[in-house]
């Protein structure tokens, strides 16, 4: 009920004439200003209170996407990487089926299959994770392994991984226990040598040991807001039995481990024949669990990541397609940004080829494309808004000029 005449807000004291609406309760009134302020405070105290912005995590058998549908969605945003997309699609599909599985003590229980993706920087590991998160109807969290340390040391505890998942699920434990977690930079927690450490490796082997219980499935006490544990803190118990873990890492230098295992040193005629069959330009396709062990992952954690796949290095054609083909391609993003200032962006084909050539030279993968394009566009993005100019044409000479200016600046620095 609203009060149209007379009365004062019991919280701020303003009269009906000073506010738009004055709502009447049993023993008093509250104005629209105090209601709005209370709503904003509630959003700050309890994350994701805004009902309109909440993502619904409902799942029914009729809505179950098959692996081909999942892969087709990934194809719209990620160029190439057919093997990784197939493995990822099947893993997520099987995770859905596990969630829909009827609980019967006499029936076969489907075990979860955690997955690990290996690929050099800029090949699309994190992009795959972010893209599939848009498609899913289960909570999905992306965490970085580089900040994790063994319990009791400076850094984040292992349980902070589940804190992120709880936040995505609006602190609904039942939904969080059906979610998927992508652990990025998993290679950064590799132990320093192939032999067990005789001293504490608090950000390497110690973290791997802590991850075992999460990957396998156990009830973990999680601090609601993340951060450090302390005895008087209230915890949320989360069962990780049905949480699917996807790990990704560059594993820089693992090709040497693969080459040693494949014995690419040619000795004798038979070895020479086998060597001819090996594609030395892409040794990652031959990756095996023992290579991960040689790199520094402990056998226990490798056993809990049964599905191993790789991402192929990006060749020239792939880099060229990444620039313009995906729905969220780099060039389309810049066109969108300029269009918001009523500026039409045109880029010559020769300029696109030049950007690709520079990315190959810098060996930074798809991320190199973004940084190079940014160097070309930065001056225009600074100067043109507000000038009334309607078009921007980027030709080869303009691109070379901006890149040379950027390189000279970096060389002086």
Give the model confidence (pLDDT) of 119-129 as tens digits.
888 888 888 98
Domain boundary, last residue among 262, 294, 310: 310
- The rounded distance, in Å, linking the Cα atoms of 262 and 256 is 10
**First-to-final CA distance of the chain:** 67
71-94: average pLDDT: 91
Sequence-distant (6+) residues with CB within 8 A of 69 are: none
Q: Which of 161-170, 232-241, 301-310, 314-323 has the lowest mean pLDDT?
A: 232-241
Per the model's pLDDT, the better-predicted residue between 5 and 319 turns out to be 319
Confidence label for 253 from pLDDT (cuts 50, 70 and 90): confident
7-19: average pLDDT: 84
- The rounded distance, in Å, linking the Cα atoms of 324 and 332 is 7
Question: What would the pLDDT profile of 27-43 be if each residue is shown by its tens digit?
Answer: 788 888 888 888 877 76
Same domain, 88 and 21: no
Please, what is the average pLDDT of the chain? 82
What the block records as the tokens of 276 is: 């001819």
Same domain, 252 and 124: yes
Per-residue confidence (pLDDT) for residue 338, from 0 to 100:
94
Question: What would the pLDDT profile of 91-109 be if each residue is shown by its tens digit?
Answer: 888 888 888 877 765 677 7
Same domain, 287 and 385: no
What the block records as the tokens of 99 is: 């969630």
155-173: average pLDDT: 85
Per-residue confidence (pLDDT) for residue 48, from 0 to 100:
47
Q: Which of 146-150, 369-373, 377-381, 409-413 has the lowest mean pLDDT?
A: 409-413
What percent of the chain is predicted at pLDDT more than 70? 82
Per-residue confidence (pLDDT) for residue 39, from 0 to 100:
80
Question: What would the pLDDT profile of 262-300 be if each residue is shown by its tens digit?
Answer: 875 545 555 555 555 777 778 888 999 999 998 989 999
Residue 310 pairs in a beta bridge with: 118
Confidence label for 2 from pLDDT (cuts 50, 70 and 90): very low
303: pLDDT strictly greater than 50: yes
Same domain, 202 and 94: yes
CATH code of the domain containing 155: 3.40.50.300
Same domain, 23 and 67: no
Confidence label for 10 from pLDDT (cuts 50, 70 and 90): confident
Per-residue confidence (pLDDT) for residue 161, from 0 to 100:
87
Question: What would the pLDDT profile of 326-381 be if each residue is shown by its tens digit?
Answer: 988 999 999 999 999 999 999 999 999 999 999 888 877 888 899 999 999 999 99
Determine how many CB atoms are found less than 10 A away from the CB of residue 79: 19
Determine how many CB atoms are found less than 10 A away from the CB of residue 340: 9
CATH code of the domain containing 399: 1.10.8.60
- The answer to whether residue 379 sits within a structural domain is yes
**Structural domain of residue 322, as residue ranges?**
316-412
199: pLDDT strictly greater than 60: no
Sequence-distant (6+) residues with CB within 8 A of 308 are: 115, 116, 118, 287, 288, 289, 292
Same domain, 116 and 236: yes
- The rounded distance, in Å, linking the Cα atoms of 372 and 356 is 9
223-231: average pLDDT: 61
Per-residue confidence (pLDDT) for residue 354, from 0 to 100:
94
- The answer to whether residue 51 sits within a structural domain is no
- The answer to whether residue 158 sits within a structural domain is yes
Same domain, 289 and 337: no
- The answer to whether residue 345 sits within a structural domain is yes
The kind and range of the H/E element at 362 are: helix 349-362
**Strand locations in 256-343, DSSP E?**
307-310
- The answer to whether residue 198 sits within a structural domain is yes
Same domain, 40 and 137: no
- The answer to whether residue 56 sits within a structural domain is no
């Amino acid at each position: 009920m609203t009060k149209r005449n007379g009365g004062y807000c019991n919280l701020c004291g303003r009269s009906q004439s000073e506010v738009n609406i004055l709502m009447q309760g049993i023993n008093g009134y509250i104005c629209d200003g105090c209601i709005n302020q209370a709503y904003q405070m509630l959003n700050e105290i309890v994350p994701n209170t805004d009902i309109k912005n909440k993502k619904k995590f409902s799942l029914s058998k009729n809505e179950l996407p098959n692996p081909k549908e999942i892969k087709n969605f990934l194809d719209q945003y990620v160029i190439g990487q057919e093997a990784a997309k197939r493995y990822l699609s099947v893993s997520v599909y099987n995770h859905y089926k596990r969630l829909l599985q009827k609980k019967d003590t006499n029936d076969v229980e489907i075990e979860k299959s955690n997955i690990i993706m290996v690929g050099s920087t800029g090949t699309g590991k994190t992009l795959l994770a972010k893209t599939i998160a848009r498609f899913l109807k289960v909570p999905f969290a992306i965490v970085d392994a580089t900040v994790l340390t063994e319990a009791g040391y400076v850094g984040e505890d292992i349980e902070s991984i589940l804190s992120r998942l709880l936040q995505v699920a609006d602190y609904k434990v039942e939904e969080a226990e059906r979610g998927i977690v992508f652990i990025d930079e998993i290679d950064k927690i590799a132990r320093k040598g192939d032999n067990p450490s005789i001293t504490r490796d608090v950000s390497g082997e110690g973290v791997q040991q802590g991850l075992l219980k999460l990957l396998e499935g156990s009830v973990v006490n999680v601090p609601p807001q993340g951060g450090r544990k302390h005895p008087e803190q209230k915890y949320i118990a989360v069962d990780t039995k049905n949480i699917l873990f996807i790990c990704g890492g560059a594993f820089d230098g693992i090709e040497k481990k693969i080459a040693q295992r494949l014995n690419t040193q040619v000795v004798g005629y038979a070895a020479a024949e086998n060597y001819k069959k090996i594609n030395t330009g892409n040794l990652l396709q031959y990756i095996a669990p023992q290579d991960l062990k040689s790199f520094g992952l402990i056998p226990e954690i490798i056993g809990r990541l049964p599905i191993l796949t790789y991402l192929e290095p990006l060749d020239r054609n792939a880099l060229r397609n990444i620039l313009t083909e995906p729905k969220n391609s780099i060039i389309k993003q810049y066109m969108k940004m300029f269009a918001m200032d009523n500026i039409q962006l045109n880029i010559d084909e020769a300029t696109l080829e030049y950007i690709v050539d520079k990315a190959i030279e810098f060996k930074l993968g798809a991320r190199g494309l973004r940084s190079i394009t940014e160097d070309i566009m930065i001056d225009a993005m600074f100067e043109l808004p507000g000038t009334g100019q309607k078009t921007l044409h980027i030709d080869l000479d303009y691109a070379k000029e901006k890149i040379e200016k950027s390189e000279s600046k970096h060389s002086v620095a």
